[in-house]
Amino acid sequence: METHKNNHRNITLSTKATVIDKIELKEIAQRNNLTLSEFIYSLITVFKHQFENIGKDSHEVERLKKEIQLKDKALNKAQINLENADYKVKLEMERADKASHKYDECRYQLKEALARETDLKINNEELVKENSRLFKTVASLTNYNNSDNYKKAGIGLAGVIGASYGFMRLLK
């Protein structure tokens, strides 16, 4: 087997392109001080071993994509946790509102009970004063009834009643 030691470029390879593609490639070649043939040959030479990777992502891009997926998962999990936390806070706020409302209601009932108690104390004091006044009146009447004049009047009254009874019997 004989190895080819001929490194001369004497074989033509061709491709089909649009007019716009040819103009763009020619402009790029001129900016790099190359002929169109040399530029296309450079492109083919540079990418001939990477043809299977054309259109595919590099290892770095793949790694970054996986990293983005992991971060997206973490973000979704964080959003779910945030929604759960918001829901728990909402429930706790509702519970606190109910407790606060119940507390306010109990305070209102306590104030009403204290107001009624105050009214009852005032009424009780008035009744104690009235009772004391009536007690004094009864005591003065008792003293009056126990006096000698009442006894004399009572004896006199009994005598008058007895005499009237006797007089009535006589008339019969």
How far is residue 18's CA from residue 39's CA, in Å, rounded to a whole number?
17
At residue 65, what is the residue type? K
Q: What is the pLDDT of residue 150?
A: 54
CA distance readout (Å), 79 to 69, 83, 85: 15, 6, 10
Distances (CA, A) of 82 to 64, 75, 85: 26, 10, 5
Q: Which residue has the tokens 């728990």?
A: 88
What's residue 144's pLDDT? 62
Give one word for 11, left, alpha or beta, with left for phi > 0 and alpha for psi -120 to 50.
beta
Q: What is the pLDDT of residue 24?
A: 93
Alpha-carbon dihedral 93, 98, 104, 108, rounded to 10 degrees: 170
**Burial call 32-60: b when 16+ CB within 10 Å, e when fewer:** eeeeeeebbeeeeeeeeeeeeeeeeeeee
pTM of structure: 0.37
The pLDDT profile of the chain, 172 residues, written as one tens digit per residue, is 455 556 677 777 788 889 999 999 999 999 999 999 889 888 888 878 777 767 777 788 889 999 999 999 999 999 999 999 999 999 999 999 999 999 999 999 999 999 999 998 998 888 888 888 888 887 777 766 555 555 555 566 666 677 677 667 666 6
- At residue 83, the pLDDT reads 92
Reading the block at residue 124, the tokens are: 């009780």
Q: What is the distance between the alpha carbons of residues 28 and 39, in angstroms, rounded to a whole number?
A: 8
